[in-house]
């Protein structure tokens, strides 16, 4: 697994030029993405597709089909089931008991990629006997990964590593109890899939679409500039019911006083918050 | 090799000290963290390979023994002088032009996340010649490409002498592609970095 170095560095001017093209032609606004990782993704696409910067611009303008591929590569779709096992442990002890008091539990998993986190939450809620009254919406800007998510089929190699994660959560069951094993892959049980819905949603340009008891958006903010993070936090705030929970990635610290007034810290280390105020 | 004026000067002019290592580098880095003075007037960034899910006590152990402020990098964390930053497990750590860190969960590089290459390359783009980077013991080739990029940008690049490294592969990989301007004995590395004039 070699590094992803492109020998030709992309300048900030080139970066802006490209962001402009994508915005004007394809309607996706990447201008508030964090520069360093965005450049790294671009360099990676150029290497994979064997394109110079000029050619990349050219295909983005002239080849309509290329954009979907570009979108898939530019967004980071690396995810795992039960990533950060201690997060799930915290959810179980600090959040689930409160969620269980609701008639219906609606959860929004924003930036869900290929669905691993949605199904991890579904498994957790199922094991905690909330499966029947909960519903999880998984959204992403990328249609291709959502198709993967809807299938809910993962390679055995991945399942093996997810099983390790699961063990660290301290949950009492077994991950494979929730899967049907096939020759070289495993499919999530259909009863878990029933209470999920995957759809396209762009955090940067789309509005809220429901009221939720919990929103999980983990390892998405790391790709956004601070101002954009605040804008999306506002969207999340409005989309949560009173005392609803917000979960961010465990390194996604929000350094804003305004945020502290709207959200109470439930777990500092795991970045779990609760909506306060109105 | 004796430490010449050129290397001392370049170290003195550095704004960032980058330390990368893997298997066999932990004790060295620990000793180094203990030794660096409070008023180094530089930012120290440490990337050590580590396993996910093993909640390591590295930060705690290092912080208790460090004279400088020591922090694990979190997203959009401002880059401050006289502070040691440690790259967290399961993320790549990058630096931004505006003087803060950003994190990335994309694929492992050389089976490693954090990857030394990723951080070294990112620091090279932003801080160019104002960097001193040292690559220590390790059992794979992560860091070599990053060190090369730093060297091309005019940074001071150092590989631990493979004979002194518990695992020679990592510094050797850097030497093989001419990424290291200096190949120094462990004692020389310590002597250089202790010199804070």
pLDDT at residue B189 is higher than 50: yes
pLDDT at residue B197 is higher than 90: no
Residue A65 lies in domain:
12-74
pTM here is 0.93
pLDDT at residue B117 is higher than 70: yes
B50 confidence band (pLDDT: 50, 70, 90)? confident
pLDDT digits (tens, 9 = 90+) for B8-48: 999 999 999 999 999 999 999 999 999 999 999 999 999 99
Q: Do both A69 and A106 map to the same domain?
A: no
The percent of residues above 70 in pLDDT, for chain B, comes to: 96
Q: What is the DSSP string of B64-112?
A: HH-SSEEEE--TT-B--TTEEEEPPTTSEEEE-TTSBEEEE----BTTB
Q: Do both A104 and A224 map to the same domain?
A: yes
Does A249 sit within 8 Å of B117, measured CB to CB? no
Q: How far is A88 from chain B (nearest CA, A)?
A: 13
pLDDT at residue B53 is higher than 80: no
Peptide bond into B114 cis (omega under 30): yes
Backbone angles phi, psi at A273, to 5 degrees: -125, 165
pLDDT of residue A164: 94
Q: Do both A106 and A229 map to the same domain?
A: yes
- Give B88's DSSP letter: P
Q: How far is B44 from chain A (nearest CA, A)?
A: 19
Residue ranges and CATH numbers for the domains of chain B are 5-194 (3.40.50.180)
Q: Which of A20, A55, A74 is the last residue of a domain?
A: A74
* Chain A touched by B125 (CB under 8 Å): yes
Number of domains in chain A: 2
* Chain A touched by B59 (CB under 8 Å): no
Q: Is residue A5 part of a domain?
A: no
User: Pick the residue with more confidence: A90 or B60?
Assistant: A90
pLDDT digits (tens, 9 = 90+) for B153-181: 999 999 999 999 999 999 999 999 999 99
* Chain B touched by A130 (CB under 8 Å): no
Q: Do both A191 and A63 map to the same domain?
A: no
* Chain A touched by B127 (CB under 8 Å): no
- Give A131's DSSP letter: G
The whole-chain average pLDDT of chain B stands at 94
pLDDT of residue B55: 63
Q: Shortest CB distance from B97 goes to which of A35, A221, A226? A: A35
pLDDT along chain A (278 residues), means of 10: 54 93 94 94 92 93 90 92 96 97 97 97 96 97 95 96 95 94 95 96 95 97 96 97 97 89 95 89
Backbone angles phi, psi at B191, to 5 degrees: -60, -45
Q: Do both A58 and A187 map to the same domain?
A: no
* Chain A touched by B96 (CB under 8 Å): yes
CA B122 – CA B76 distance, rounded (Å): 15
Task: Look at residue A133 and give its three-state secondary structure.
Answer: helix
Q: Do both A31 and A144 map to the same domain?
A: no
Tell me: ipTM over 0.95.
Answer: no
Q: Report residue A169 as tokens.
A: 């959560």
CA A14 – CA A10 distance, rounded (Å): 6
Q: How far is A41 from chain B (nearest CA, A)?
A: 9
CA B178 from centre of chain: 18
- A247 Cβ contact list (under 8 Å, min separation 6): A87, A91, A214, A215, A216, A217, A218, A270, A271, A272, A273
């Amino acid at each position: 697994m070699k590094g992803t170095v492109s020998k030709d560095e992309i300048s900030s001017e080139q970066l802006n030029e490209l962001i402009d093209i994508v915005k004007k032609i394809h309607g996706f606004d990447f201008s508030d993405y964090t520069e360093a990782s965005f450049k790294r993704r671009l360099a990676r696409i150029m290497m994979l597709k064997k394109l110079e910067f000029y050619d990349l611009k050219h295909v983005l303008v002239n080849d309509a089909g290329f954009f979907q591929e570009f979108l898939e590569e530019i967004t980071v779709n690396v995810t795992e089931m039960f990533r950060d096992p201690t997060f799930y442990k915290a959810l179980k002890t600090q959040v689930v008991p409160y969620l269980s008091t609701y008639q219906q539990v609606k959860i929004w998993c924003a930036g869900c990629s290929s669905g691993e986190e949605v199904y991890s939450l579904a498994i957790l809620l199922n094991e905690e006997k909330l499966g029947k009254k909960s519903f999880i919406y998984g959204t992403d800007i990328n249609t291709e990964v959502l198709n993967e998510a809807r299938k809910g089929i993962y390679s055995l190699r991945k399942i093996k590593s997810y099983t390790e994660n699961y063990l660290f959560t301290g949950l009492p069951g077994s991950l494979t109890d929730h899967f049907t094993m096939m020759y070289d892959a495993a499919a999530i049980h259909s009863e878990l899939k029933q209470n999920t819905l995957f759809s396209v949603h762009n955090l940067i340009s789309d509005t809220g679409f429901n009221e939720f008891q919990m929103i999980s958006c983990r390892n998405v903010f790391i790709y956004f500039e601070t101002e954009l993070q605040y804008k999306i936090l506002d969207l999340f705030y409005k989309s949560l019911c009173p005392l609803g929970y917000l979960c961010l990635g465990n390194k996604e610290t929000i350094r804003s006083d305004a945020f502290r007034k709207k959200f109470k810290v439930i777990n500092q280390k795991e970045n779990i918050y609760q909506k306060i105020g109105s | 090799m004796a430490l010449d004026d050129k290397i001392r000067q370049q170290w003195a002019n550095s704004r960032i000290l980058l330390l990368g290592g893997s298997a066999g580098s932990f004790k060295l880095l620990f000793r180094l963290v203990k030794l660096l003075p409070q008023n180094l007037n530089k930012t120290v960034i440490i990337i050590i390979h580590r396993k996910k899910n093993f909640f390591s006590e590295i930060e705690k152990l290092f912080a208790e023994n460090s004279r400088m402020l020591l922090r694990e990098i979190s997203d959009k964390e401002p880059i401050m002088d006289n502070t040691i930053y440690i790259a967290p497990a399961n993320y790549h750590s990058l630096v931004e032009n505006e003087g803060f860190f950003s994190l990335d969960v994309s694929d492992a590089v050389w089976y490693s996340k954090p990857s030394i290459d990723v951080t070294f390359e990112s620091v090279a783009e932003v801080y160019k010649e104002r960097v001193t980077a040292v690559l220590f013991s390790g059992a794979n080739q992560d860091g070599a490409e990053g060190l090369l990029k730093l060297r091309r940008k005019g940074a001071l690049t150092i590989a631990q002498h493979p004979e002194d490294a518990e695992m020679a592969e990592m510094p050797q990989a850097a030497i093989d592609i001419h990424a290291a301007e200096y190949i120094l004995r462990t004692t020389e590395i310590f002597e250089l970095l202790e010199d804070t004039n």
